[in-house]
Structure 1
């Protein structure tokens, strides 16, 4: 059963929500590889999922750092533990083991739980920081631009 993206999974930061949607697509591709009984397809999708997830984690952590999120160390630890867990699945799959059913269940459960709890915890402070940065950029732009062209 595929994982459907819904408003329940949104944290209100469009760029992060978009990245989470992409991860949902990768999870559904893992399930599709299982349905096709294709270890080769699974390995390709798993490589893409791992690469994309690592870049997503780095981006998310940068936003948290810039916003001064007080629980960033704990959040990074959750990301690192998940990364190691998925690397274990990846190694098992490379050795020929069929991990797709277990992996799909783990990915779905982890992502939904992580978004609804861990990511929602930081979303408020990150949104505030992004809004403040946007206001500062507009004020800067407006100040010299309006003087130059006003």
Structure 2
């Protein structure tokens, strides 16, 4: 199960709230695999991807604003995840294809979100918080 917990808080209310929504959407998508129609899975994947683009855009704008030195690497991680979601969409929409493998996809999404938030996003948050002290 993909769930945001207080342990994932980065200490910036706006980002933590967005992460909570991101984890909710990821959980809805992953839970749909093998449980709902292919159409519903596709809708939830698009719903997740759209929020990723929105959230990542907000973070990246903030990074540019504060001249965050880790911007390029952070953005590359965002871009890679969105590209992976696009590849999942392509795989899912392939006519006659097997669809998405629930275990593989859920493991990937959960690991990526956990790793990104606990390392990359925490580093950005620390930078922002250190500048406001």
Structure 1 length normalisation: TM-score? 0.79
Stretches of structure 2 that go unaligned for 5 or more consecutive residues are: none
Q: What residue in structure 1 maps to residue 128 of structure 2?
A: 126
Stretches of structure 1 that go unaligned for 5 or more consecutive residues are: 133-150
Q: What residue in structure 1 maps to residue 50 of structure 2?
A: 51
Q: What residue in structure 2 maps to residue 9 of structure 1?
A: 8
CA contact (8 A) 1:10 1:17 kept: yes
Q: Please identify which structure carries the higher helix content.
A: 1
Q: What residue in structure 2 maps to residue 40 of structure 1?
A: 39
Distance change >3 Å, CA 100–CA 126, structure 1 → 2:
farther
Q: What residue in structure 2 maps to residue 20 of structure 1?
A: 19
CA contact (8 A) 1:67 1:125 kept: no
Q: CA RMSD in A?
A: 1.6
Task: Write the distance in 1 (CA, Å) between the matches of 2:58 and 2:39.
Answer: 29
Q: What residue in structure 1 maps to residue 107 of structure 2?
A: 105
Task: Write the distance in 2 (CA, Å) between the matches of 1:123 and 1:36.
Answer: 36
Task: Write the distance in 2 (CA, Å) between the matches of 1:31 and 1:67.
Answer: 34
Cα shift at 1:39: 1.1
Larger radius of gyration: 1
Structure 2 length normalisation: TM-score? 0.89
Task: Write the distance in 2 (CA, Å) between the matches of 1:32 and 1:126.
Answer: 34
> 109, 116, 119: which is aligned to 2:118?
116
Q: Which runs of 4 or more aligned residues in structure 1 lie more than 3 Å from their structure 2 counterparts after TM superposition? A: none
Match of 2:124, SS state, is helix
The C-alpha deviation readout for 1:103-148, integer Å capped at 9, x for no partner, is: 221110000000000001110222355x48xxxxxxxxxxxxxxxx
The C-alpha deviation readout for 1:32-82, integer Å capped at 9, x for no partner, is: 212424211110001111011001001001111111111101111111111
